[in-house]
A and B are shown apart, each in its own frame.
Chain A
Amino acid sequence: GAGVSQSPSNKVTEKGKDVELRCDPISGHTALYWYRQSLGQGLEFLIYFQGNSAPDKSGLPSDRFSAERTGGSVSTLTIQRTQQEDSAVYLCASSLGTGAYEQYFGPGTRLTVT
Chain B
Amino acid sequence: GENVEQHPSTLSVQEGDSAVIKCTYSDSASNYFPWYKQELGKGPQLIIDIRSNVGEKKDQRIAVTLNKTAKHFSLHITETQPEDSAVYFCAAFYTGGGNKLTFGTGTQLKVEL
Chain A contact residues, CB within 8 Å of chain B: 4, 33, 35, 40-43, 45, 48, 56, 58-59, 91, 93, 98-100, 102-108
Contacts and interface: CB of A to CB of B under 8 A. Distances in A.
Q: A-side binding surface: helix, strand, loop or mixed?
A: loop
B34 A102 contact: yes
Interface residues of B, number: 26
B105 interface: yes
B44 interface: yes
B25 to A, nearest CB: 13
Contacts of B78: none
Contacts of B36: 105
Contact of B32 (A40, A93, A100, A106): A100
Given A33-B101, A45-B102, 8 more contacts: A33-B100, A41-B106, A42-B6, A42-B105, A59-B100, A91-B43, A102-B49, A105-B45
A100 B44 contact: no
Contacts of A48: 100
